[in-house]
Amino acid sequence: MSVVFSSTSAGLIYPDGTQALQDTSVSVSAGEFVSIVGPSGCGKSTLLRMASGLIGQTSGSLNRSGTVQFVFQDSTLLPWRTVRKNVSLNLELQKIDQPTIDQRTSAVLELVGLADSADKLPRQLSGGMKMRTSLARSLVCEPDLYLFDEPFAALDEFSRERLNIELRNMLSTRNAGSLFVTHSIAEAVFLSHRVLVMSPRPGTIVNEFQIPFGQHRDQDLRYSSEFARVSGEIAQSLRELSPL
Ligand SMILES: Nc1ncnc2c1ncn2[C@@H]1O[C@H](COP(=O)(O)OP(=O)(O)OP(=O)(O)O)[C@@H](O)[C@H]1O
Ligand SMILES: [Mg+2]
């Protein structure tokens, strides 16, 4: 599998002298889903910003191949544009021809279950529908690397679990790599091939867990003993970082 993103011993010190990351080595291959968990303020969002190229590392090296798409928790939809028009925005900015824009937008709206709500305005949507619209807007771009910064943190557990399934379905048709930050161990285990644990600031990867589940994952998996065992190991690793 080709590597779409890697950092080697990357460090990042902000201009005010805050050392956010130290010696961080992460790699994501095409088609691979990698989650990052770690204490608040340890540098997870910083790592994503660095991976996207928004900010540069101050030591070590980075490699990125192809296009990147950020997905944030705040869906930041344009309130005056319909669901369809919010989703097609990035394609319009790329000056793609209108029939192609219409075809790709319709396909993605179908995929996220929003075809019936395509003409609604953001204020007419539930929180979960807004998040779906935001996901659709990112998916329509077909990037090589997705960077997710706690995209589902504001949702109730039920919507979140459903979107976890939908996200897996959507990505199964793509060969993109994903780097996904979350505070939910269950979400990380459910979605990922690998889960990385970060230390408190300055953040570095202190542990890596291979997730032993195959491609087919349904809600029942969350209640299996193997799921509890893997989640427990990751929770233990986090507890050791910040003992009470
Ligand atoms: N622009 C900035 N300038 C200086 N320091 C910053 C800047 N942005 C973030 N930091 C600091 O860098 C550290 C890591 O911040 P970051 O937002 O990456 O953490 P995080 O792991 O995403 O936290 P959370 O889980 O709360 O979202 C924190 O100490 C933060 O205060
Ligand atoms: Mg953050």
Over residues 197-216, the pLDDT tens digits come to: 999 999 999 999 999 999 99
Determine the average pLDDT of the residues in 33-38: 97
CA of 54 to the centre of ligand 1 (A): 14
Ligand 1 near 182 CB (within 6 A)? no
**pLDDT for the residue 99:** 95
> Which of 44, 47, 197 to mutate for ligand 1's pocket (most ligand atoms within 8 Å of CB)?
44
Whether residue 137 is predicted with pLDDT greater than 80 in this model: the reply is yes
- Domain span(s) for CATH 3.40.50.300 in the chain: 14-67+143-207+228-236
Q: Of all atoms in ligand 1, which is nearest to the CA of residue 48?
A: 18
Relative to the CA of 198, which ligand 1 atom is closest? 21
CA 43 to centroid of ligand 1, rounded, Å = 5
- Cβ neighbourhood burial of 39 (10 Å; 0-12, 13-18, 19+): middle
User: Considering only CA atoms, which of 98, 79, 76, 73 is closest in space to residue 88?
Assistant: 98
Confidence at 44, pLDDT banded by 50, 70, 90 = very high
- Condensed to tens digits (0 to 9), the pLDDT of residues 75-109 reads 689 999 999 999 999 899 888 899 999 999 998 89
Ligand 1 in reach of 44 Cβ (< 6 A): yes
Give the per-residue pLDDT at 183.
95
pLDDT of residue 233: 97
Note the pLDDT of residue 162: 86
The phi and psi torsions of 73 (rounded to 5 degrees) equal -65, -45
Angle made by CA atoms 91, 97, 100, in degrees to the nearest 5: 75
Q: Which residues of 88-126 are buried (b: 16+ CB within 10 A; e: fewer)?
A: bbbbeeeeeeeeebeebbeebbebbebeebbeebbeebe
Nearest CA to ligand 1 atom 2: 14
The reply to whether ligand 1 has any atom less than 6 angstroms from the CB of 17 is no
> How close is the Cα of 141 to the center of ligand 1, in Å?
28
- What's the rounded mean pLDDT across residues 31-56? 96
Domain at 14-67+143-207+228-236: CATH architecture: 3-Layer(aba) Sandwich (3.40)
User: Is residue 73 in contact with ligand 1, taking CB distance under 6 Å?
Assistant: no
Asked whether 54 lines ligand 1 (CB < 6 A), one says no
- For the record, the structure tokens of 33 come out as 């889903």
Token code pair at residue 76? 């930041």
Q: Would you state the pLDDT for residue 136?
A: 87
| 42 CB near ligand 1 (under 6 Å) | yes
- pTM comes to 0.92
Copy the structure tokens of residue 157: 């557990």
Higher pLDDT, 5 or 157: 5
Closest C-alpha residue for ligand 1 atom 7: 14
The confidence score (pLDDT) of residue 225 equals: 97
Query: Could you write out the DSSP letters of every residue in 208-227?
Result: EEE----S---GGGGGSHHH
Residue 244 has pLDDT above 70, yes or no: no
Torsion of CA 76, 81, 86, 90, to 10 degrees: -100
